[in-house]
Homo-oligomer: A and B are copies of this chain.
Amino acid sequence: MPTIDLNCDMGEGFGAWAMGDDRAMLDIVTSANIACGFHAGDPSIMAETARLAREKGVRVGAHPGFNDILGFGRRNIQGDSPAVIERMVAYQIGALQACAALSGHRVTHVKPHGALYNMAALDADMAQAIARAVKAVDPALLFVVPPLSAMDKAGEALGLRVVREAFADRSYEDDGTLTPRKIAGSVIHVPELAAERVVRMVLDGAVTSRHGKRLPISADTICVHGDTPTAVAMAAAVRAALEAAGVTVRAVE
């Protein structure tokens, strides 16, 4: 029977500010990527999100980003050496491990956030720095990456357990990359459409590009976003469609 993991970025509030409906998303997804205080999140939000995830039986992972609260980790920051990147990622994983420990939960994966994810997908030095951090902190951690990216290669090279992810609500180009957000149609807003695409990804191992090309895609986890107005409806539709198609939704073991 086919299986798939559903992951969502969470704990993206900060201090007095909230973002997303984590409680509702935790009833749908099987893996939660928790912001670690550098682009969003703070110790209380991290601990509370991990506690809630544990209560609902959802795996938690670190979602490290650039130290860029004001830019939500979405600005490309250039100039940090690989060693600095490595330490910055290690710091955030460790911080979440401790916050999760407060409720007896355990961090089982790492997925970089935003600009760090996008830059490290292309930059081998940065990707290797992140992979080294993951390995040093806990070599059993799953490393969630875009398929075929520099992070994928870096994880494999270091012997990490690599988990490849696809996106439920994003359009793809003919070369397999995500359609840039500035292009109309890059983000899919209709839950049923996204759900149908995800089912095809899982059952057929393929997705149709923006220009109609069939792209093979091998995903272990599907990212559903939590910070849009239709996030919960979208995620629920994706999960329902998967289950209706006979796919078991569960975390990667």
A residues bordering B, Cβ < 8 Å?
13-19, 37, 40, 42-44, 46-47, 67-72, 74-80, 83-84, 86-88, 90-99, 101-102, 115, 132-133, 136-137
Q: Which of A43, A71, A102 has the most CB of B within 10 A?
A: A43
Are A96's CB and B94's CB within 8 A? Answer: yes
> How near does chain B come to A14, taking the closest CB pair, in angstroms?
6
A-B contacts, 12 listed (Cβ < 8 Å): A15-B69, A15-B71, A17-B18, A43-B91, A44-B87, A67-B70, A71-B79, A75-B78, A76-B78, A76-B79, A87-B99, A90-B101
Cβ-neighbour of A76 out of B47, B77, B84, B97 (below 8 A): B77
Which residues of B lie under 8 Å from residue A93 when comparing CB positions? 98
Q: A42 — nearest CB in chain B belongs to which residue?
A: B70
A15-B71, A17-B17, A77-B75 given as contacts; is B101 within 8 A of A94 (CB)? Answer: yes
> How near does chain B come to A93, taking the closest CB pair, in angstroms?
5
Closest 5 CB pairs of A and B: A94-B98, A17-B17, A75-B79, A43-B87, A43-B91
Other A-B pairs, 12, CB within 8 Å; known A16-B40, A94-B96, A98-B136: A14-B70, A43-B84, A43-B87, A44-B88, A46-B91, A69-B69, A76-B79, A77-B78, A86-B102, A90-B98, A94-B98, A94-B101
Which residues of B lie under 8 Å from residue A91 when comparing CB positions? 37, 43, 46, 95, 98-99
* Cα distance, A74 to B67, chains bound together (Å): 14
Are B76's CB and A71's CB within 8 A? Answer: no
Are B70's CB and A15's CB within 8 A? Answer: yes
Q: A16 — nearest CB in chain B belongs to which residue?
A: B72
Which residues of B lie under 8 Å from residue A133 when comparing CB positions? 98, 102
> How near does chain B come to A38, taking the closest CB pair, in angstroms?
9
Cβ-neighbour of A47 out of B14, B15, B90, B98 (below 8 A): B90
Which residues of B lie under 8 Å from residue A40 when comparing CB positions? 16
